[in-house]
Chain A
Amino acid sequence: MNTNVTTSIDTRPFSIKNVEDLEPWEYYETLRGNGPVAWDEQMNAWAILDFEECAYVEMNEDKFRHPYQDAPQVVVDIKGGGRNITLLSGEEHMRMRRFFLKLMTPPLVEGYRSKHIAPVIGLLMKRILAKGTGKADLTTEFGDQIPPRVIAALLGMPWQDDDMVARILHLHEEIMEVIGTGFASEEIRQKGLRVSKDINDMLLPFIRDRKKNPQDDFISRVWSEAPEFGDDLTEEDVVAICRELFLGGADTTVHGIANVLYLLLTNDEIRQSVEADRKSLPAAVEESMRLFGSVMYRFRVANDDCNLGGVEVKKNQRLILLHSAANRDPEKFGCPHMADLTRRPPTDHLAFNKGPRACVGIGLARAEMRDAVSAVLDNLPDVRLDPSAAPPMFKSLFMRSWRPLNVVFET
């Protein structure tokens, strides 16, 4: 069924771009035989394929900085302003991180499940069932719609507004494409600035309103609680802070939901385990994140000359932490290409990053993925991939998921 695999030996110099729109894992396995670190000329960076080296780099920000730490002004502008958490470093970053974590504590996420996630999933499932066709694309009609609506609800925006939700999704996919290139060309940077302005323009009316009329939402909490800025917090600061909440919430989990649904729809053993005992669903979600991820790689920069995986890396050279390869590192994971719900420990993968920049919205993301799967299993009897429709493919480069997910079910 999956026809976008790499089927012949690629003789071109290594680049992650060589497997854009193709399933990348066989290519990475071939490359791994030459060592865990490889130079990618097209990306102008060292690609790191093994788990331990990726985790080491992410855990040691004093040795390997995030490229945004010395980002040019145009990148700052594309990211929405200097107070965006990804642009902060050191203690200032950690204070902002604690604020973000405070918005996402486990008890709060449990509350978000009933207050925001359940109504969103309920609406989408109702629409699918109301068609009465016994068919749906579980990406565009379901999974893609959940994260942008949930983060809109959390920010205090009208999550039922279909046009706004479509725009949120489209703009964040576009900005992720720009980020995934490493802001590589003037054309890409200009696109980034245009998209960034459009996202800011979506947020600004709500940011201005909540300054005067605080409510029970993230934007109001940013105004009242964002660390260190107090009364000096400017509108630009709030835009920058909210931009990453918006991005983190709206986009990555879209791919996570598609990937876990794909796993359930294509792996009978996993499907049966989850259907027999819903307690195995969290492990299924973790395995789907390990096997397929959402974000395929992360950038870092070496602060000094160093040796990584037997390769001499020079000061200020870029690194691509290739999570999509490292999460299938055979040194770390036995039978790495197999989904295994008994894997221990289930959470020790890189899909949410490790280190001081590990995903702050992980609890929300997991809740959305699990609740999405449960809703599909509970509401769509005998749901399965539609053999007569276009099969899922693992396309794109930076952000990836199996799509479309055309399914049929009993009505």
Chain B
Amino acid sequence: MQITVFDQEGTTHTIVADKASSVMEMIRDYGLPISAQCGGCLSCATCHVYVDPSWIDRFPVADEFEEAMLELATELRPESRLSCQLKVDEKFDGLIITLAPGTEF
């Protein structure tokens, strides 16, 4: 799985999944500036991303726990998701996301 990520300054990065199991791990392990503090267990909002509108409906909707944590995120939008909840899957190959403000470490 390969994704395109716009970082907080607008720079584009192409990232391949390698060993990652979630989009958060892809972004974090590549070295982009996200805190991803809790490590991926829905206990913070520091892996907040905007999923490109053309992709947002292809993912299962956020559950109540993700929604509750997203309420703490900065500049929430309809296409906001926690990237730890976006699982690596070949059907999402080509995904485009943008790192949200407030996720920098």
Residues on A facing B (Cβ under 8 Å): 55, 58-59, 94, 97-98, 101-102, 105-107, 282, 286, 344-348, 352, 354-359, 362, 366
Contacts and interface: CB of A to CB of B under 8 A. Distances in A.
B28 A348 contact: yes
Which of A98, A101, A345, A359 neighbours the largest number of chain B CB atoms within 10 Å of its CB? Answer: A345
13 contacts: A55-B39, A94-B65, A98-B69, A344-B31, A345-B29, A345-B30, A346-B31, A347-B34, A348-B36, A352-B37, A355-B41, A357-B43, A358-B38
Contacts of B30: 344-345
Where chain A touches its partner, the secondary structure class is: helix
Contacts of B32: 345
Contacts of A286: 105
Contacts, number: 69
B62 interface: no
Contacts of A106: 74, 101-102, 104
B73 to A, nearest CB: 8
Nearest to A106: B102
A363 to B, nearest CB: 8
A187 B31 CA distance: 47
The 6 closest A-B pairs by CB, nearest first: A344-B31, A354-B39, A106-B102, A356-B43, A358-B38, A347-B105
B97 interface: no
Where chain B touches its partner, the secondary structure class is: loop
B35 A362 contact: yes
Interface string B46-81: 000000000000000000010011011010000000
B53 to A, nearest CB: 24
A101 B38 contact: no
B39 A59 contact: yes
Contacts of A97: 43
A91 B5 CA distance: 33
Given A345-B29, A346-B105, A59 B69 contact: no
